[in-house]
Chain A
Amino acid sequence: MLKVTDLRKNYGDNEVLKGINIEIKKGEVIAIIGPSGSGKSTFLRCMNLMETPTGGEILFKDKLLNDPKMKDAEIDKVREDIGMVFQQFNLFPHLTVLDNITLAPMKRKNLSQAEAEEIGENLLSKVGLLDKKDAYPNNLSGGQKQRVAIARALAMNPEFMLFDEPTSALDPEMVKEVLLVIQALVEDDMTLAIVTHEMNFAKRVASRVLFIDNGVIVEQGTPEEIFNNPQKQRTKEFLDQINY
Chain B
Amino acid sequence: MGNVNIDFGRVWEWMPTFFEGTLVTIVLSLSTVIIGSLIGLVVVLMKMSNVKPLKVIADLYTNVVRGTPMLLQLFIWLYGLPMLGISFSGLSFLGGTYGTREFITAIVALAINSGAYVSEVLRGGLEAVDKGQTEAGRALGLSKRETMFSIIIPQAIRTVLPGLGNEFITMIKESSIVSTVGVFDVMYTSNIVKASTYSIFEPLIVVGVIYFILTYSLSALMKNLEKRLNTYA
Contacts and interface: CB of A to CB of B under 8 A. Distances in A.
Contacts, number: 73
A45 B77 CA distance: 51
Contact of B146 (A91, A107, A152): A107
A72 B136 contact: no
Q: Most chain-A CB neighbours within 10 Å: which of B133, B136, B143? A: B136
Contact of B141 (A86, A90, A93, A156): A156
Contacts of B133: 90, 92
Contacts of A48: 139
Nearest to A82: B139
A80 B141 CA distance: 5
Contacts of B231: 138
Interface in B217-233: 231-233
A108 B141 contact: yes
A76 B139 contact: no
A76 B143 CA distance: 6
Nearest to A103: B150
Nearest to B146: A107
A136 B138 CA distance: 21
Interface in A100-130: 103-104, 107-108
Interface in A144-198: 149, 152-153, 156
Nearest to B157: A94
> How would you classify the secondary structure of chain A's contact residues: helix, strand, loop or mixed?
helix
Contacts of A92: 133, 136-137, 151, 155
A73 B143 contact: yes
A90 B136 contact: yes
B225 to A, nearest CB: 16
Interface of B: 130, 132-133, 135-144, 146, 150-151, 154-155, 158, 231-233
The 4 tightest CB contacts between A and B, nearest first, are A80-B141, A90-B136, A104-B140, A90-B132
18 contacts: A48-B139, A50-B139, A73-B143, A76-B141, A76-B142, A79-B140, A84-B139, A86-B132, A86-B136, A88-B132, A93-B155, A93-B232, A104-B141, A104-B142, A137-B232, A138-B231, A138-B232, A153-B140
Given A94-B158, A108-B142, 13 more contacts: A50-B139, A78-B141, A79-B138, A80-B140, A86-B132, A86-B135, A90-B130, A92-B136, A94-B155, A103-B151, A107-B142, A107-B146, A107-B150
